[in-house]
Structure 1
Amino acid sequence: MSWQRHGRALLAVLLTAPFLSQADATIANVATPAIQKGLHASATSAELVIGGYLIAFAVLLITGARLGQTHGYKRVFMLGTGLFMAASLLAGLAPDAAVLVITRVVQGAGAALMFPQALTGIQLNFAGAERIRAIGLYGIALSGGAVTGQILGGVLITADLAGTGWRAIFLVNVPVCAAALAAAARRLPADEGHGDQKVDFAGVAILSVTVLLMVLPLILGRPEGWPAWTWVSLVASVPVLAVFIVVQRRTSARGNAPLVNLQVLTRPTVAWGLFTLMTATATYYALLFTLAQYLQNGLGHGPLVSGLILVPWVAAFGLAGQTARRMPGRVARVLPAAGCALLTAAYLAISADLFAGSHGLGPLIPLLAAGGFGLGTQFSSLLGRLTNAVPPRYAPDISGVSTTVLQIGGALGVAVFGAVYLSGAAPHDTPRTTHAFAVTALVLGCAALLSTACSWLTIRSGDGPAEESSPTGSGESPADAQVIASA
């Protein structure tokens, strides 16, 4: 496929999915006070406006990826986008908090359908240097969407367009989704999927329960004060996950298609790579949360400032993805670890600056840019390594699992590192809050260091790239048997 003639238009359509999904994961963060006031909602209902979306999104991601394989990624992309658009419209018109929470859950389900089709579409339609470029832009859409959500939420609520107030943060999705649907109908290649393969509904049910048991307490535990049910839920997720693994192995042994191909995911490159992505992503989402808390409650800045200060991070993240693809093979091989090392250094430098007594934003901006460049280098190079480690037939496995891992990592990061920050912070107490953020940045640096070590294990795992079938094909490649044999 020619990048100049078709690739850019096709990729632009695909990238609306990760961008919108991540934007709506954060856009409601700054709107909760206005929603509580406008709908007379309780604090728990306001939390569920955010949490309901994230829970449905995380629970259904792998199912969405598998449906893309069985029914065609184009068809499922359009279905998910249409559902996302309809839910956004209903959320913007919600008469009360209960309706808003329900529509946000439906919106999360729509995001889970459309989101994994982006990486699947990249793996099926791009190869070589074009795929590396596409993955770099995919990373920008992910990171940029999360930050744009925070900035756009503040701008729209402040502007109060036509008196819509907080409702505009949902209504703005409607024209964007409508344009994406029209473009998808024209630009995405026809893809009928594999209609002969049945969806593993037993796997869907058990995995959904597993992810729900993991994510629900991580999202609602902190605002609820970590009641006993959150710990019971987390502990219960372990045996349910074990049951899922047993069911998937039995499904494969019977010759049927499992929901998740465990043989592919247990390859060292894939396993260590996914853990590295989860760890590094956890630090990023934790930074989004704690930095906003620090700037607004500690230093007294508004939500717009706390969003704009992350622009250097996103810009550097995007630059890193485009720089990584130009590196020669010997250098490219170590980029995941090098990116994690730079991310570690950025967090530790932020911590040292704050411990030294700095309260200004000046030193923070270049350090955030360095962190964004490090994470962008790690993300684009590592995701490229993961997608090259398996043939296109297994694109849904990598797409669904990697995106689910990112969401679980994000929820885990906010829960764990957010608790570290909140345990030491105090509203409107600048010295104490600064100290809390300094400690948090130090802990984030330690987590990034763990991610660096895991990156080295990914590099040293010895898995070579899988052979490719035609970039536009989705059938089995000659490398499939080799992948299974080496797993």
Structure 2
Amino acid sequence: MTQTTDLRGIVPERGTRNGPGGRMLALILLGQFMAILDVNIVNVALPTMRTDLHASGSGLQLVVAGYIISYAVLLITGARLGDIAGHRRMYHLGLASFTVMSLACGLAPSTWPLVAFRFLQGAGAALMTPQVMSMIQRNFAGEARARALGLYSAVIAGGVVVGQAAGGLLVSADLFGTGWRTVFLVNVPIGAALLLAGPRLLPRDESPRGGDLDLPGLATLTPAVLLFVVPLILGHELDWPLWGWLSLAASAAFFAAFVAVERRVAARGRRPLISVRVLRAPRLAPACVALLFGPATWGAFLFTTTLHLQGDLELSPLESGLAFVPSVTAFGLVGLNWRRLPARWQRRAVPSGFALAAAGYLCVGPLADGGAPYLILTAVIGFGLGVMPIIMTVALEHVPAEDAADASGLLLTLMQIGQVTGVATVGTLFLTMAEDGGSTRHAEYGTGWALAAVAGVGAVCALALARGRAEPRAER
């Protein structure tokens, strides 16, 4: 990692392994862990939720995607609010909102209130999680920052592992007859504990930058994403009505308007949601493209495979959750150990990883009967997608501290938009094929080919990251 002049002046003792920075890092990463956990713990509960709430396939997609949509759309705004009002303050506000909405989700009486609470829960996560990356960027430097980012990647992988296993365990245990509700209620005591510890462990906000929000950008980006995702989710159950196609066309118009609005905001000397200056950082633009495709395949793979494992294969929620452990364990191992590779191999690992994941997805259909080969297959996919932390590190290594909030918000937004697009498109393909063929095994073939195609495109885009030589690290 390179080290900028700005970073050297940011309380260096916080970056030591044994100093107060260790406790601060543990607290903010636990908040990040809870947000990631909530995405993945819900997947395992979907079949039980479908039975208990009589939810449709599109209703289940919205339970998953509703959280991710609001999370994705508001992440950059959440990062900007951290700059304006203070990262500590926004972390606490987001954590409190997330915790309250987790309680509301756990008590939801039917599908549509649950979907609404999930949107609001995602908004809380969007306030909280950008502060994690920003506080790491601002409070850690050199190798300490590299270690912190490595732990950040491990937390993301760990949230997936624990989410799948804990979701299955909680649903199978059916504590006090609560069934799927515990996958949301488990957040409440964790969030309360973090809120109590935060005032003592988080550093005080030092001179927030001030400024204003890009409300015109937010007002055009939000409908652009919603108009794109909602018809993809609802279309297959409503027989692709005319309004869905009109919605997709309107989405394209809103995305064009968003670009025009952002240019106008920048021309007036204000800070747009997506800054051209941030995009000009070395290798950030190709990293952004790659970060759309990897999470798209991963989110869709979790959604469709869970329905298959608890559908045709008739696995219990716990068994289906544990089936993902090899995949996310492999993801975590790569994320924690990729720095051991020679420098010239590190960037080349990104397109290679995407290609490996694509090869694994091609085997999803032929190995859909489950068993040990299927578990090995999930590990291969996780090993391939384990290169995601490399992409994030390469993207951020030349971003100065003053742009940390914008860069982290942009990267996290793209990852979430990738996930929701994967669930909406490939998830719809799976549900349509399962309904037409009367079998989730049949649907797994089409899903595997679609996921392989997306991962293949990601591999081609990631070739730009593999070009050139690795930059030397700055002296500590």
Structure 1 and Structure 2 fold alike (TM over 0.5): yes
Which has the higher mean CA deviation after the structures are superposed, 117-126 or 413-422?
A: 413-422
Answering whether residue 372 of structure 2 is matched by residue 365 of structure 1, we say: no
Q: Look up the equivalent residue of 1:445 and give its one-letter code.
A: A
Distance in 2 between the 1:97 and 1:414 partners?
18
Shift of 1:110: 0.6
Closer, same or farther: CA 456–26 of 1 in aligned 2, 3 Å: same
Partners of 2:47 and 2:349 in 1: CA distance: 42
Query: Counterparts of 2:186 and 2:422 in 1: how far apart (Å)?
Result: 29
Corresponding position of 2:36:
22
- Alpha-carbon distance in structure 2 between the residues aligned to 1:173 and 1:393: 32
The corresponding residue for 1:485 is none
Residue 3 in structure 1 maps to residue 17 in structure 2: yes
Q: Is the 8 A contact 1:283 1:447 kept in 2?
A: yes
- 1:455 corresponds in structure 2 to 462
- Measured after TM superposition, the shift of residue 97 of structure 1 is 5.1
Deviations 1:154-204 (A, max 9, x none): 322332223333332222111111122233322222224534312222222
Q: Distance in 2 between matches of 1:324 and 1:390?
A: 21
C-alpha contact 2:93 2:127 (8 A) present in aligned 1: yes
Q: Which residue of 2 aligns with 1:477?
A: none
CA contact 2:46–2:60 (8 Å) conserved in 1: yes
Q: Indicate how the Cα distance of structure 1 residues 44 and 247 shifts in structure 2: closer, same or farther if over 3 A, else same.
A: closer
**Count of residue correspondences:** 462
CA distance in 2, matches of 1:326, 1:148: 26
Structure 1 residues 206-261: Cα deviation after superposition (integer angstroms, max 9, x where no partner): 22222222333344445545433333222222222222222222222222222221
How far 1:321 moved relative to its partner? 1.1
For residues 262 and 471 of structure 2, what CA distance do their matches in structure 1 show? 26
Normalised by the length of structure 2, the TM-score is 0.86
Alignment check: 8 A CA contact 1:79 1:113 kept: yes
In the alignment, residue 72 of structure 2 is paired with which amino acid? A
Among residues 403, 414, 432, which one is paired with 1:405 in the alignment? 414
Higher mean C-alpha displacement, 385-394 vs 200-209: 200-209
Give, in whole Å, the separation in 1 of the partners of 2:59 and 2:444. 28
8 A contact 1:124–1:392 mirrored in 2: yes
* 2:4 corresponding residue in structure 1: none
Assess, with a 3 A threshold, how the Cα gap between structure 1 residues 434 and 323 changes in structure 2: closer, same or farther.
same
Of 361-370 and 89-98, deviating more is 89-98
- 2:144 matches 1:130: yes
Instruction: Give per-residue Cα distances to partners, 1:387-426, cap 9 Å, x unaligned.
Output: 1132121112222121111111112212332344344436
Q: Could you tell me whether the CA contact under 8 Å between 2:68 and 2:417 is conserved in 1?
A: no
> CA offsets per residue over residues 441-462 of structure 1, 9 Å max, x none?
2332232222112111133378
1:213 to 227, 242, 258: 227
- 2:195 matched residue in structure 1: 181
Tell me the C-alpha RMSD between the 2 structures.
3.1
Structure 1 Cα separation of the partners of residues 75 and 408 of structure 2? 9
**What secondary structure is seen at the aligned counterpart in 2 of 1:256?**
coil
Contact 1:64 1:113 in 2 (8 A): yes
Do the aligned partners of residues 223 and 131 (structure 1) sit closer, same or farther apart at CA in structure 2, a change above 3 Å counting?
Answer: farther
1:170 alignment partner, one of 159, 178, 184: 184
Counterpart Cα distance in 2 of 1:366 and 1:63:
40
Q: Does 1:335 find its partner at 2:349?
A: yes
1:116 alignment partner in structure 2: 130
Q: Deviations over 1:72-125 (max 9, x none)?
A: 222111110011111222333345555444333221211111122222222222
Query: Which is further off, 263-272 or 35-44?
Result: 35-44
| Letter of the structure 2 residue corresponding to residue 254 of structure 1 | R
- What residue is the counterpart of 2:441 in the other structure? 434
Q: Is the 8 A contact 1:61 1:113 kept in 2?
A: yes
> What does residue range 254-333 of structure 1 map to in structure 2 within 5 Å?
254-265=268-279, 269-333=283-347
How big is the shift at 1:56? 2.2
| Matched residue SS, 1:402 | helix
Write the letter of the residue equivalent to 1:383. Answer: M
2:345 is the counterpart of 1:374: no
Tell me the amino acid that sits aligned with residue 92 of structure 2: M
CA shift, 1:40, in A, is: 7.1
- 2:430 is equivalent to residue 421 of structure 1: yes
Judged with a 3 Å threshold, the aligned counterparts in structure 2 of structure 1 residues 358 and 408 are, in CA distance, closer, same or farther, namely closer
The answer on 1:392 being equivalent to 2:401 is yes
Q: Is the 8 A contact 1:296 1:303 kept in 2?
A: yes
Is residue 2:69 matched to residue 1:55? yes
Q: Aligned letter for 2:458?
A: S
Deviating more after overlay: 311-320 vs 102-111: 102-111
Secondary structure of residue in 2 paired with 1:425? helix
Q: Percent identity?
A: 44
> What letter matches 2:416 in structure 1?
Q
Deviation per residue, 1:429-476 (Å, 9 max, x gap): 6xx6435423432332232222112111133378969999x9xxxxxx
Kindly indicate whether the alpha-carbon contact (under 8 Å) linking 2:171 and 2:318 is maintained by their aligned counterparts in 1.
no
Greater CA deviation, 112-121 or 79-88?
Answer: 112-121
